[in-house]
Structure 1
Amino acid sequence: MAPTASPSFDTDTLRRGIEDHAASTLLSLYADDAEIRIVDRDTQPSRPKVLHGRDEIGSMLEEVYGRDMTHALEHCVVQGDHVAFLESCRYPDGVRVLAESMISLRDGKISEQIMIQAWDE
């Protein structure tokens, strides 16, 4: 019996979703019960913002990728069931944002994500 390959994470879909501002494309990468923890100046490590499930995650993605700003996938590393990536963003007024994510996968889909973000003040 030949071994069965586990589903792989689609980095091309991640890049298209980020750079084309396509929230629905990005949402397709998440498991139904996925969780995102967001750490930034407002939601610090002891009290991160936590989103549960595709509905909450989808709402956040629509809000972020509906903004008038550019998004670029700078780096992405996939190793087994883990993904790390850096996303850089820029508002029209020049304000920049960097978001670094560490992801755990289950069956090729994002099951957990920790995002740390910082922006110009």
Structure 2
Amino acid sequence: MGTAAGSAFDTETLRRGIEGDTAATLLSLYADDAQLRIVDHQTQPSRPKVLRGRDEIAEMLDDVYSRDMTHRLEDCVVQGDRAAYSESCRYSDGVRVLAESMVSLRDGKIVEQTMIQAWDE
């Protein structure tokens, strides 16, 4: 992968962040004023979960990375100040999660993200 031309957003850092053991590297990609909107079975499009700022995003990521699961960056495309990526996760009991994200970038940092996720039930 690598850095997109004209952008400081580094997809290798994204890969290391997603596939790492802690949330620290992934959190470093978010701007202080970032907003993350999550849509899934529990937080449907008309009432998505919205996290505002790095502190709220950090709390969610710390929870996710405290679980017994693996994460993998499947694909990532960066074009100008936008990026999209696919992530697959697997809990130790075999339950799978798939997430698709679209992000807006400012100075190489994520400022807005919409994540749509689904998991085995």
Q: Tell me which interval the TM-score lies in, with the shorter structure as reference length.
A: over 0.9
Q: In structure 1, how many angstroms separate the alpha carbons of the residues matched to 2:107 and 2:41?
A: 33
**2:22 paired residue number:** 22
Q: In structure 2, how many angstroms separate the alpha carbons of the residues matched to 1:94 and 1:85?
A: 22
Residue type matched to 1:68 in 2?
A: D
Shift of 1:22: 2.5
- Give CA-to-partner distance per residue, 1:49-92, whole Å, 9 cap, x none: 00000000011111111110010000001011111000000111
Give the unaligned 5+ runs of structure 2.
none
**2:31 paired residue number:** 31
CA contact (8 A) 1:16 1:22 kept: no
**2:90 paired residue number:** 90
Please state whether the residue corresponding to 1:58 is helix, strand or coil: helix
Q: In structure 2, how many angstroms separate the alpha carbons of the residues matched to 1:22 and 1:11?
A: 17
CA contact (8 A) 1:21 1:71 kept: no
Report how many residues are paired: 117
Residue type matched to 1:56 in 2?
A: E
What's the TM-score once normalised by structure 2's chain length?
0.93
Shift of 1:37: 0.2
**2:117 paired residue number:** 117
Written as runs of structure 1 = structure 2, the 5 A alignment for 1:44-63 is 44-63=44-63
| Shift >4 Å, 4+ stretches | none
What's the TM-score once normalised by structure 1's chain length?
0.93
In our comparison, the structure showing a higher alpha carbon Rg is 1
- The percentage of aligned residue pairs carrying the same residue is 76
